[in-house]
């Protein structure tokens, strides 16, 4: 149990729709990262938020966006869903303090796009 | 860009035996961190062990140890006295030591480990 929670657990959407995934980090974790994990593959970095601002992005289009809130929660929004967006979405948070900041992962949200 | 390669999609081991999972990576950086993560069917990614590139000594955590060969860019995980609870997908991951890169992790494709009773 890492103290990082995600909701919902599972979600089914249709192509073209929009989706919001949520993550709740541990108190004091001011950095959150989001990853996309397609079936049978390793997680791919989407972006990272630090103190409510995006400060790093992977090779994902702008229809993937995020928000981070002062209460250590965050959101991943995906617009105009495509079939290839079907994946497990993981969030990971890191505590304040040292540069080396271990990431604590949530259990993920399984998104299916039909 | 950094890449991480795990060449063993699947591995199996008998309970109480030892198994080694392989990982290679490619980077032009001199300062970085390497990790092994475990992902059981519950999907929650759990940190198994980490290695700082500037440390020559191989990291050890109880039954888990690594063989870090910086020149060869190799980072293997050895699991001793394998237990049924070790069965999971194992991911090798890289993180840059450049501060502006933040906490971004680059993962390999994973190795599915089966432990046979």
Summarize the confidence of residues A28-45 as an average pLDDT: 93
Count contacts between A and B (CB, < 8 Å).
64
Q: Concatenated DSSP letters for B28-96?
A: S-SSEEEEEEEE-TT---EEEEEEETT--SPPEETTEEEEEETTTTEEEEEE-S--GGG-EEEEEEEEE
CA-based nearest residue in chain A for residue B1: A58
Is the pLDDT score of A30 beyond 70?
yes
- What pLDDT is attached to residue A100? 55
Q: List all residues of chain B from 30 to 49 with a beta carbon under 8 Å from chain A.
A: 33, 37, 42-47
Looking at residue A26, the DSSP 8-state letter turns out to be: P
**Does A109 touch chain B if contact means CB atoms closer than 8 Å?**
no
> Which residues in chain B are contacts of A21 at CB distance < 8 A?
none
Please provide residue B84's backbone torsions phi and psi, each rounded to the nearest 5 degrees.
-55, -35
Looking at residue A25, the DSSP 8-state letter turns out to be: P
Structure tokens at A42: 């390793």
- What pLDDT is attached to residue B49? 94
Looking at residue A63, the DSSP 8-state letter turns out to be: T
Please provide residue A83's backbone torsions phi and psi, each rounded to the nearest 5 degrees.
-55, -35
Q: Which of B76, B78, B106, B47 has the alpha carbon at shortest distance from A2?
A: B47
Q: Are A101 and A26 in contact (CB under 8 A)?
A: no
Residue B66 burial (CB count, 10 A): 25
Summarize the confidence of residues A5-26 as an average pLDDT: 96
- Inspect the interface and report whether the beta carbons of A42 and B47 lie closer than 8 Å: no
Q: List all residues of chain A from 31 to 60 with a beta carbon under 8 Å from chain B.
A: 31, 33, 35, 40-45, 48, 50, 55-56, 58
Average pLDDT across chain A, whole number: 91
Task: State the pLDDT confidence band at A96, using cuts at 50, 70 and 90.
Answer: low
Q: Which residues of A6-39 are buried (b: 16+ CB within 10 A; e: fewer)?
A: beeeeeebeeeeebebbbbbeeebbbbbbbbbee
**CB under 8 Å to A80, separation ≥6 — which residues?**
A16, A18, A63
Is the pLDDT score of A23 beyond 70?
yes
- Each of the 117 residues of chain B gets a pLDDT tens digit; together they read 889 999 999 999 999 999 999 999 999 998 899 999 999 988 889 999 999 998 889 999 999 999 999 999 999 999 999 999 999 999 999 998 876 667 789 999 999 999 999
C-alpha A109/C-alpha A35 separation (Å) is 11
């Amino acid at each position: 149990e890492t103290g990082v929670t995600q909701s919902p657990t599972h979600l089914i959407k249709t192509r073209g729709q929009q989706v919001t995934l949520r993550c709740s980090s541990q108190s004091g974790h001011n950095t959150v990262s989001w990853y996309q994990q397609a079936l049978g593959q390793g997680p791919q970095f989407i972006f990272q938020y630090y103190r409510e601002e995006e400060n790093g992005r992977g090779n994902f289009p702008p229809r993937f966006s995020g928000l981070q809130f002062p209460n250590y929660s965050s959101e991943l929004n995906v617009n105009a869903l495509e079939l290839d967006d079907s994946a497990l979405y993981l969030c990971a948070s890191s505590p304040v303090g040292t540069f080396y900041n271990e990431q604590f992962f949530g259990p993920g949200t399984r998104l299916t796009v039909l | 860009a950094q890449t991480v390669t795990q060449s063993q999609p699947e591995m199996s081991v008998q309970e109480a035996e030892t198994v080694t999972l392989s990982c290679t990576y490619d980077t032009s950086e001199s300062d970085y961190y390497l990790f092994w993560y475990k992902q059981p069917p519950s999907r929650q990614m759990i940190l198994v062990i980490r290695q700082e590139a500037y440390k020559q000594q191989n990291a050890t955590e109880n039954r888990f140890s690594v063989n870090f060969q910086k020149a060869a860019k190799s980072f293997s995980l050895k699991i001793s006295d394998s237990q049924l609870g070790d069965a999971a997908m194992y991911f090798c991951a890289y993180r840059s030591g450049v501060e502006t890169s933040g906490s971004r992790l680059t993962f390999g494709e994973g190795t599915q480990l089966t432990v046979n009773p």
